[in-house]
Amino acid sequence: MDDTYRIRRTARLRGGRVPRIVMALAAMLAVLLPGAPAWAHNALTDANPAKNATLASAPESVKLKFLQKLNPEYTVITVTDAEKRKVATSEPKIDGATGTVTFDEGLGNGVYTVAYQVVSTDGHTVKGSYKFTVDDPNVIEQTVEPSATPQSDAYSSQLTINGTPTQLPADAAPASDSGGSSTLAWVAGVLILIFAGLAGFVVIRRRKA
């Protein structure tokens, strides 16, 4: 009776290890796989004003924080109004991974679009945009003087830095999904091999027992 009890208890203990291994690997996959594309390219992590925010008073600046440090020579931050006219701002001020532009004049009520273009450490160009709204009850009409030329495209392969056109480096190719997808596939393959190896090890141990 004692021997039978010990055998059953040992089998239960050994069998209980498998779910714990599976749960640990599942947790690893959940943490690593969503973040895999971020290893290759830069990404916006925080913004002030925030995405889709509605402000009761006009902001004095736009502050964007990224995952990687910014290169001042290849960082562009623009703001346009609802008519796609560029709002006058300072040149981006870079502090590590944070870029800030200040407005030359106060913003009136309306919807504004913040567009950014930065270069990742691997040379890829990353760009994006978001909107925020100014809804100040004390302001009736927009006070910002728009630029004469509509801003039809907030992005360009040629940057204007301190009034001087500067071409992006040749290796700063537009970001695509291929780099992130290949990284994701590589990570998934490695984790699957680890999972298969651990599962095989557990099965062999159980057979020998």
> pLDDT tens digit string along 11-34?
554 554 555 665 665 555 555 444
Name every residue whose Cβ is closer than 8 Å to that of residue 165 and which is 6 or more positions away in sequence: 158, 159
State the Cα–Cα distance between residues 209 and 188, nearest whole angstrom: 32
Using DSSP's 3-state secondary structure scheme, residue 184 falls into helix
Residue 70 carries which side chain, given as an amino acid letter?
Answer: L
Residue numbers in the chain where pLDDT is lower than 50 = 7, 13, 16, 32-38, 142-143, 154-155, 173-181
Q: What 8-state DSSP symbol labels residue 139? A: -
Domain segments of the chain: what residues?
A: 14-38+177-208, 42-167
Separation of alpha carbons 174 and 192, rounded Å: 31
Which architecture, in CATH terms, is 42-167?
Sandwich (2.60)
Q: Which amino acid is at 42?
A: N
pLDDT tens readout for residues 122-159: 889 999 999 999 999 987 654 455 555 555 554 455 55
**What ranges make up the beta strands (E) of the chain?**
44-48, 54-55, 61-66, 76-80, 93-95, 98-102, 110-119, 125-134, 158-161, 164-167
**Rounded distance, CA 88 to CA 155, Å?**
16
